Amino acid sequence: MFTGSFVALITPMFENGQIDYPSLQKLVEFHIQNGSHGLVSVGTTGESATLPFDEHIEVVRRTVEYANGKIPVIAGTGANSTAEAIFLNEQIGTTGVQGFLSVVPYYNKPQQKGMIAHFEAIADATDLPTILYNVPSRTVADMLPETVAQLAQHPKIVGLKDATGDISRLQETQKLVADDFLMLSGDDESSCEFLANGGHGVISVTANIAPKQVADMCNAATAKDYQLAKQINSEIAELHTSLFIEPNPVLPKWALYKMGLTNSAFLRLPLVESELESQKTIEQVMRSSGVLS
């Protein structure tokens, strides 16, 4: 269910900061039409850090409604408070989502034993599958392969989004978990190599802008046509890097606004609009990649 290209979906907003639900519906339809295999609603790219509970829950609910069963929706429900993560799972679990994405607790810097206790408590409190999310560049705390292996024994913990960008970490983890434990790349720049080394899919920021290319790359990798996957990836390789020259999702939001898919590029503070030079850079890359005519 959770293989292939999952879009780390932005949360569109009007200039007054309110959620832009018409644009959200347009984005969901855009991704369905372009072959994305699923959506991740209100993850890091969806500005989860600045959406209060009521908005967080409503954005996920609307995303599921707009997807209308055509592709699965995973909800970002991670928190650095275990009780808060469980609360979000309880509230969002009734919306029709197919699973949860739960990030390593940030700022607290938990020990490996603390991570195990945290994720086991979350998984124990739900009937839906949970995907772990390790992104030490943001959380500081790094979930080690041995910790993933122990958590993989829980029947409700079904996979890992690995955003380390380190292929050796993928290989090390694969040795410790069952073949059906999902390994998903959370690092666009290394995602093609990740797939070529046995990864099951990607949770992609680039897919916001180039959904067809990322989905086609995943389809080629699933068919074990890694040459084709590499060729497709080469066409969007510059997007992988240029979308991150400012903190995510600053440039993805601007790019989608430029493509006419949203009404504004507004971000919640403390993030602000991208620099003019960054906009020029990403626009040039979008044109050279063929996603903007």
Active site residue ranges? 133, 161
Rounded to an integer, what distance in angstroms lies between the CA atom of residue 96 and that of residue 216? 27
Rounded to an integer, what distance in angstroms lies between the CA atom of residue 157 and that of residue 138? 22
Q: Determine which helix (DSSP H) or strand (DSSP E) holds 4, and give its type and residue range.
A: strand 4-8
Q: Return the SS3 of 258.
A: helix
Answer positive or negative: Cα dihedral of 32, 265, 56, 142: positive
Q: Pseudo-torsion of CA 187, 169, 48, 243, nearest 10°?
A: -20
Please report the DSSP string for 107-172 in residue order. SS---HHHHHHHHHHHHHT-SS-EEEEE-HHHHS----HHHHHHHTTSTTEEEEEE-S--HHHHHH
For residue 52, the 8-state DSSP code is -
Does 147 show up as a binding residue in the annotation? Answer: no
Q: Return the SS3 of 26.
A: helix
Does 164 show up as a binding residue in the annotation? Answer: no
Binding residues: 45, 203
Binding residues for pyruvate: 45, 203
